[in-house]
Amino acid sequence: MSTPVRLLVHGASGRMGRALLRLAAGREDVAVVAAVQRTVGQRVVDGIPHFTASELAGTPAFDAAIDFSLPEGFDPVLALCRGRGAALVSGTTGLFDVQRAALDSAAASIPVLWQANFSVGVAVLDELVERAASALPGWDCDIVESHHVHKRDAPSGTALALGESAQRGGAQPRYASLRAGDIVGEHLVQFATVGERIELVHRAGNRDIFAQGALLAATRLAGRPPGRYGLRQLLFG
């Protein structure tokens, strides 16, 4: 059996971080060597070294970081990966333009994958949206996203990414956001004209679908040459 990919999980105490640690513990192809969260807080999983954001420099060697944190935590983990020559898989949404540009420059020296949504279903929805938009010139395009009440950014990263796909197909999308209860994540892309309407919907039932996608991406990204990578390329390429 090959050596497990050494992972640093950034945002370990969060909803996504906890799912990642739980799923990673059941896999033999990865070993979490560091769990990083903003503040001391609770240890998420026994047996894994925990670090706060201010202790990043003291983390052990790792092959890939998986980051699901917040925009304010993003710059330090990107800098850490650059400094260590490690891969970065990030699903943090709400990033500023300057942070997205920093991903491009980091890609000159390390392998980088940023993805608004790590589910396989959304990867397919993305393709369908672009195809529908280009087949339906002049139709209204609206993207409605619904998430749990704790989500900070709006529109969601997925909604914006779907909007970019719609734009590539020639549509001019409008956005609406709902925050209610514990909704994991729902995205509706509607194309409408006089007398007819198409609805393309994705509903996430749990966070494991995102965590599994990110873990798989990390195992396939670690050790690759520097560059920007896409989820579809790593999953299906």
Ligand X SMILES: NC(=O)C1=CN([C@@H]2O[C@H](COP(=O)(O)OP(=O)(O)OC[C@H]3O[C@@H](n4cnc5c(N)ncnc54)[C@H](OP(=O)(O)O)[C@@H]3O)[C@@H](O)[C@H]2O)C=CC1
Residue 119, token pair as written in the block: 């589910």
179 binds ligand LZUJQKHR (CB under 6 A): no
Q: Is residue 117 near ligand X by the rule CB under 6 A?
A: yes
Q: Does 51 help bind ligand X (rule: CB under 6 A)?
A: no
| Cα dihedral 60, 210, 231, 54 sign | negative
Q: Pick the stretch among 7-15, 22-30, 162-170, 224-232 that binds ligand X (CB under 6 A).
A: 7-15
193 a known binding residue? no
Answer yes or no whether residue 59 interacts with ligand X by CB under 6 A: no
Active site residue 150: no
Tell me if 93 is assigned to a ligand binding site: yes
- 219/237 Cα distance (integer angstroms): 14
Can residue 224 be called a binding residue for ligand X (CB under 6 A)? no
For ligand LZUJQKHR, the closer of residues 31 and 175 by Cβ is 175
Give φ, ψ of 142 to 5 degrees.
-125, 140
93 touches ligand LZUJQKHR by CB under 6 A = yes
Footprint on this chain of ligand LZUJQKHR (rule: CB under 6 A) = 93, 116-117, 147, 151, 156-158, 185
